[in-house]
Amino acid sequence: MKQQEDRSTELNAGMGYNALIDSVGINVCKLLLDDELTILWGNDNFYISSGFTKAEYQTLFPSIKAYYAGHGEEFHKIKNAFAAASKKAGRRAKVDCRRPLKNAGCAWINIDAVITGEVVDGSEVALAVYSDISDLTRLKAERDQLLEEKTRYFEWMMDEYVGNIYISDLETYELLFLNKTAAATLHTTKAEVTGKKCYEVIQGRTSPCPFCNNALLTEDDVYAWEFDNPNLEKTFMIRDRIINWQGRRSRIELSHDMLSAEYKLAKNAHVR
């Protein structure tokens, strides 16, 4: 009788805990880390958020692999995250992936799971929390699209600039961009030199320039100087600064041949 009372109290406590989880919209499931990622348990929200009823889900999908039939790439992404977590000290798996929904379409979710140390039928058990990140993913996609558009406009403006412009990675010296004027000055094409070292293309050197001023540049101020380029046999008025170019900390350089009409106009404007 006492055992039955204890069991009843335990079940009621568990139901109360599950109701609390459901009330705050958390999706939780318990997985067996076998080949199928068998589902041992899930709270009501875990099932309902898929678009299926709990009964439908449990009947149709005994495992994560069964649920992701036709979406093998996403399943392997999840499984690989658990496999990697099992080798780490924290034994915690995190992965962003798509979750197919009943009425077509997908939701972007984040799975944050911990391997509990419990073993069932010879396989370890993980407790996983699902979070819907569809809104965040959509915002990121919109931001990336906007950034791409801005980059295209910026490249167009640089291409129309009458002086020379190039952008290079501060760490690797890799040429990331040069405009039409710079390509003409160097007697080359963008496609031919993009990705090569700036000191090779611009100065004809095999190692970084001893006079390189990368260490003097900042993101806030323009560094102006003049340089006699022996490789091109021309003297240039140069303006440099640091920018973030497609996620890379880079140097942007604007220059004019000092014998050009553009340089003379700029020089006269500065004198006034």
The confidence band for 17, taking pLDDT boundaries of 50, 70 and 90, is very low
Regarding predicted confidence, which is higher, 35 or 9?
35
Q: Which residues contact 180 (CB under 8 A, 6 or more apart)?
A: 159, 190
pLDDT at 22 over 60: no
C-alpha 132/C-alpha 119 separation (Å) is 28
Of 23-27, 51-55, 149-153, highest mean pLDDT: 51-55
Decide whether 2-132 matches 137-271 in CATH topology: yes
Please tell me whether the overall predicted TM-score, pTM, comes out greater than 0.85 for this model. no
- pLDDT tens string 157-183: 999 998 999 999 999 999 999 999 999
Which CATH number does 2-132 carry?
A: 3.30.450.20
Q: Of 266, 210, 268, which Cα lies nearest the Cα of 236?
A: 266
Q: Where are the domains of the chain?
A: 2-132, 137-271
Residue 79 has pLDDT above 50, yes or no: yes
pLDDT in tens, 246-258: 889 999 999 988 7
If pLDDT is split at 50, 70 and 90, which confidence band does 13 have? very low
**The CATH number, out of the four listed (3.10.180.10, 3.90.1150.10, 2.70.70.10, 3.30.450.20), of the domain defined by the range 137-271:** 3.30.450.20
